[in-house]
């Protein structure tokens, strides 16, 4: 299979915590059997990072799959996220506790503010709650998701702890150069969601299909390898066990600098998720 424990490289976050650079995203995985099967298949294939969120509605299934997997909790890296209706300080603390309860855990490895909602301007208050949870040892790392440089600038005015991770939409057609540069300068790790673009539109690109043929890998494996070699943490989402196994099988080959460049050249500033400047769903 070419994967398994110990194969996935880790990144050291700026607080010294090691985070696996490859994991499973469970967005749109239905609560119950579907998410249970997906997480179980991932853990069996050597995944150790599982990324969920309160709004996904599947934290219970994720927790159950982990509990029955036999993989020791301390070997896993579990992420969840604070939803948009809980940016007030007390609401954020309460939302975190509810997530823990649904997961059946007594700590999280990473907790993220899911969206900045800049028009409400309450995310610095939510961040204060995350700092409290971090200082109390209830979460081992804290970060943000969908934050652009202006949102981070605002956070930096009042925060006492710098975000450790920024999880953003990132794929060959949407490469977020400005956000990446801002974060890299401040040792904030970049995590790619929708790494293959929703619907995998990027996988039919001639540059990708040719590299897949050349390396005898699938187009998805080529793109995921590009993420890894670009230095990102990457969390492809799938509920198909065979695809979950295939996705992690990217640590036995390397793309040459010129091949990396071919993929980087596909950038088109093509966002598929909401623009964080305007997203205000509750």
Q: What is the CATH number of the domain that holds 232?
A: 3.20.20.100
Residue 146: what are its φ and ψ, rounded to 5°?
65, 25
Closest of 76, 90, 85, 81 to residue 58, by C-alpha = 81
* 278 has catalytic annotation: no
Specify the pLDDT at position 34.
82
Q: How far apart are CA 155 and CA 126, in angstroms?
A: 10
Domains: count for the chain = 1
Pairing mode, if any, of strands 165-169 and 142-145? parallel
Residue with tokens 């071919």: 262
Specify the pLDDT at position 3.
37
H helix runs in 21-148, sequence order: 33-44, 59-69, 89-103, 123-135
| Sign, CA torsion 215/208/204/221 | positive
29 DSSP 8-state letter: P
Closest of 70, 23, 73 to residue 50, by C-alpha = 23
Q: How far apart are CA 91 and CA 269, in angstroms?
A: 35
Segments forming the whole domain that contains residue 141: 10-264
Of 47, 56, 111, 193, the active-site residue reads 56
Could you tell me if residue 280 is inside a domain? no
140, 161 contact by CB (below 8 A): no
Could you tell me if residue 279 is inside a domain? no
Exposure on the CB side of residue 10, measured as CA atoms within 13 A: 14
- List per-block mean pLDDT (blocks of 10 residues) for the chain, which spans 282 residues: 62 98 86 84 96 92 95 96 97 98 97 96 98 98 98 97 98 97 98 89 94 98 98 93 95 98 96 89 70
| Sign, CA torsion 201/206/211/217 | positive
Could you tell me if residue 106 is inside a domain? yes
pTM above 0.75, yes or no: yes
Could you tell me if residue 258 is inside a domain? yes
Q: How far apart are CA 147 and CA 275, in angstroms?
A: 10
49 DSSP 8-state letter: E
Residue 2, token pair as written in the block? 């070419």
Could you tell me if residue 270 is inside a domain? no
Exposure on the CB side of residue 133, measured as CA atoms within 13 A: 32
Specify the pLDDT at position 32.
66
């Amino acid at each position: 299979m070419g994967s398994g424990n110990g194969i996935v490289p880790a990144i050291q976050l700026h607080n010294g915590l090691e985070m696996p650079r490859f994991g499973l995203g469970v967005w749109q995985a239905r609560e119950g059997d579907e998410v249970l099967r997906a997480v179980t298949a991932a853990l069996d294939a050597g995944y150790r990072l599982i990324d969920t969120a309160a709004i996904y509605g599947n934290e219970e299934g994720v927790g159950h799959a982990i509990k029955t997997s036999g993989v020791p909790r301390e070997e896993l890296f579990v992420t969840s996220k604070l939803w948009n209706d809980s940016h007030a300080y007390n609401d954020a603390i309460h939302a975190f506790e509810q997530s823990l309860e649904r997961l059946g855990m007594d700590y999280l490895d990473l907790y993220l503010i899911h969206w900045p909602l800049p028009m409400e301007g309450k995310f610095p208050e939510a961040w204060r709650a995350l700092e409290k949870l971090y200082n109390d040892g209830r979460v081992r790392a804290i970060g943000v998701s969908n934050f652009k440089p202006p949102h981070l600038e605002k956070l930096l005015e009042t925060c006492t702890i710098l975000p450790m991770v920024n999880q953003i939409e990132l794929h060959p057609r949407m490469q977020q150069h400005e956000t990446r540069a801002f974060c890299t300068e401040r040792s904030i790790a970049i995590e790619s969601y929708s790494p293959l673009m929703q619907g995998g539109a990027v996988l039919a690109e001639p540059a990708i299909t040719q590299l897949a043929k050349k390396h005898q890998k699938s187009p998805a494996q080529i793109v995921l390898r590009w993420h890894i070699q670009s230095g990102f943490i990457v969390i492809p989402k799938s509920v198909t066990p065979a695809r979950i196994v295939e996705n992690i099988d990217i640590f036995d080959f390397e793309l040459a600098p010129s091949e990396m460049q071919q993929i980087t050249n596909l950038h088109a500033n093509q966002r598929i998720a909401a623009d964080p400047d305007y997203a205000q769903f509750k």
